[in-house]
Structure 1
Amino acid sequence: MKKKLLYFGALVLLASCGTAREDSRSKRPATGPVAFDSVVECILYDGMTKDSQQLATIAAGQQVQVMDTVSEYFVKVRVTADGKTQSGFMYRTCFGKR
């Protein structure tokens, strides 16, 4: 009887550890776009290659919403330029160091 109780206790303990681990999988906070001001004039591209089309020119001091850090060199942004909202990619160097 004691062995059955011991096995049942161990099973309950393992089950509780498994559910705690599932709840804490994502250490990254859920945040939306973050507003940044560009420090130099930059170009908004539709992709991250040399052949990417230029969507708009962003003036120094213009505010953009950074949605994701895509790579070491690019961030995905949303910007309102010329009266329309566009999403694309900009170089990280457009925003200076933080």
Structure 2
Amino acid sequence: MKRLILCLFALAPLASCSTAEIGSNSRANRTPVAHNSIVECGLYNGMTKESTVLATLGSGTQVQVTDTVDQYFVKARLTKDGKTLSGYMYRTCFAQ
């Protein structure tokens, strides 16, 4: 029992270092990156089938990708008709 406790205390610093490393990089210094859409796409207010289309973009429209949300969506911002709109777009709208 004492050996098990000693082993756990010996491994604890290693575990805390690796988790601190992951946590510190998760949102560090993210700035918007400009991308051009390659197909006609929509900017949505959410990530569900019931989400409202905020704007429809033609191919070649430049948007600022502010965050990669998951494997299907990115958070994007664009200026259209003098208004800045923020929402979600499918990743397939952009070149790899």
How would you bin the TM-score normalised by the shorter chain? 0.7 to 0.9
Query: SS in structure 1 opposite 2:25?
Result: coil
Asked if the contact 2:30–2:66 (Cα under 8 Å) also holds between the matched residues in 1, the reply is no
TM-score normalised by L of structure 1: 0.71
Q: Which runs of 4+ in 1 moved over 6 A?
A: none
Query: SS in structure 2 opposite 1:26?
Result: helix
Q: Which has the larger radius of gyration?
A: 1
Aligned ranges 1:40-55 → 2 under 5 Å: 40-55=39-54
- Deviation of residue 78 (structure 1)? 0.4
State the alpha-carbon separation in 1 of the partners of residues 73 and 66 from structure 2. Answer: 11
Q: How many residues matched?
A: 79
Asked if the contact 2:78–2:84 (Cα under 8 Å) also holds between the matched residues in 1, the reply is yes
- Deviation of residue 30 (structure 1)? 1.1
**Which consecutive residues of structure 1, in runs of 5 or more, have no partner in the other structure?**
1-16
**Which consecutive residues of structure 2, in runs of 5 or more, have no partner in the other structure?**
1-12
- Deviation of residue 31 (structure 1)? 2.5
State the alpha-carbon separation in 2 of the partners of residues 59 and 81 from structure 1. Answer: 12
Q: Look up the equivalent residue of 2:25 and give its one-letter code.
A: K
